[in-house]
Amino acid sequence: MVEIARREFQSGKTTDIKFRKANLRGLLHFYQENETELADAVYADLGRIPDETIVAEISLLLRDVKTMLANVEHWSQQKTVGRSLATLLDWPYVRPQPRGLVLILSAWNYPLQLSLLPLSGAIAAGCCAVLKPSELAPATAALLADRLPRYLESSCYPVVCGGVPESQRLLQLRFDHVFFTGSTAVGRLVAAAASQHLTPVTLELGGKSPVYLDDSVNMEYAARRILWGKTVNLGQTCIAPDYLLCTKATEEAFLEAGRRVLHQWFGERPEDSPSLGRMLNKRHFSRVRKLLENSGRVALGGRCFEEALIIEPTVLTDVRAEDPVMEEEIFGPVLPIITVSSADDAIRFINSRTPHALSLYIFSSRRDVKDRFIRETDSGTVMCNDTMYHAIVEQLPFGGVGTSGMGAYHGKHSFDTFSHYKPVLERNYNPVAELCCSVRYPPYEPTKTRL
Ligand code: NAD
Q: What is the pLDDT of residues 311-364, one digit of tens each?
A: 999 999 999 999 999 999 999 999 999 999 999 999 999 999 878 899 999 999
CA 206 to CA 136: how far, in whole Å? 17
CA 338 to chain centre: 26
Peptide bond into 423 cis (omega under 30): no
Average pLDDT over residues 260-282: 94
pLDDT value, residue 119? 98
Whether the predicted pLDDT of 434 surpasses 90 = no
Q: Please identify which of the residues 128, 156, 238, 304 carries the catalytic annotation.
A: 238
Which is the catalytic residue, given 8, 52, 153, 204? 204
pLDDT at 176: 98
**CA–CA gap between residue 250 and residue 170 (Å, rounded):** 50
pLDDT at res. 447: 76
Q: What is the ipTM of this complex?
A: 0.98
CB 20 within 8 A of CB 65: no
User: How much is the average pLDDT of 372-397?
Assistant: 97
CB 101 within 8 A of CB 9: yes
Mutate-to-test residue for ligand 1 from 109, 287, 358, 379, highest number of ligand atoms within 8 A of CB: 109
Cα(183)–Cα(103) distance, rounded to whole angstroms? 17
Atom of ligand 1 nearest to the CA of 399: 41
Q: Which amino acid is at 212?
A: Y
Would you say residue 448 has pLDDT above 80? no
**Rounded-to-10 torsion of CA 379, 382, 386, 391:** -90
Asked if 327 and 290 touch (Cβ cutoff 8 Å), the reply is no
Bridge partners of residue 300, in order along the sequence: 315
DSSP state of 450: T
Angstrom distance (rounded) from CA 5 to CA 127: 10
Verdict on whether the full-model pTM lies above 0.90: yes
Largest separation between any pair of C-alpha atoms in the chain: 89
Give me the torsion for CA of 143, 29, 121, 389, rounded to 10°.
-80
What per-residue confidence (pLDDT) applies to 127? 98
Name every protein residue with a CB atom under 6 angstroms from any ligand 1 atom.
105-109, 114, 132, 134-136, 163-164, 167-168, 181-183, 186, 189, 204-206, 238, 329, 331, 358, 400, 405
Q: Which atom of ligand 1 is nearest to the CA of 132?
A: 9
Give the per-residue pLDDT at 113: 98
Looking at residues 162-175, what average pLDDT do you find? 97
Q: What is the mean pLDDT of residues 31-46?
A: 97
Instruction: Give yes or no for a cis peptide into 92 (omega within 30° of 0).
Output: no
Residue 125's alpha-carbon distances to 98, 132, 195, 366, 400, in angstroms, are 5, 19, 23, 41, 22
pLDDT at position 399, please? 97
Q: Can you tell me the distance from the alpha carbon of 156 to that of 351, in angstroms, rounded to the nearest whole number?
A: 44
Given a cut of 70, whether residue 451 has pLDDT beyond it is: no
Catalytic residue flag (residue 204): yes
Cα separation, 295 vs 451, in Å, equals 71
For ligand 1, atom 30: residue with the closest CA: 182
The answer to whether 382 touches 373, Cβ cutoff 8 Å, is yes
Backbone angles phi, psi at 228, to 5 degrees: -60, -45
Compute the C-alpha angle 122/399/176, nearest 5°: 35
| Closest atom of ligand 1 to CA, residue 380 | 41
pLDDT at 444: 85
Query: Could you confirm whether 238 is annotated as catalytic?
Result: yes
Question: CA-to-CA distance for 427 and 85, rounded, in angstroms?
Answer: 14
What pLDDT shows up at residue 25? 98
What whole-number distance in Å separates Cα of residue 30 and Cα of residue 421? Answer: 30
Cβ–Cβ under 8 Å, residues 410 and 110: no
Region of 402 please: left (phi>0), alpha (psi -120 to 50) or beta: left
CA of 105 to the centre of ligand 1 (A): 8
Cα–Cα distance for residue pair 205/399, rounded to 1 Å: 8
Residue 419, judged by CB atoms within 10 A of its CB (0-12, 13-18, 19+), counts as: buried
pLDDT attached to residue 325: 97
Percent over 90 (pLDDT), the chain = 93
For the chain, the average pLDDT equals: 96
pLDDT at res. 443:
86
Give the C-alpha distances (Å, rounded to integers) separating 218 from 122, 253, 365.
42, 10, 9
Per-residue pLDDT tens over the stretch 50-99: 999 999 999 999 999 999 999 999 999 999 999 998 888 999 999 999 99
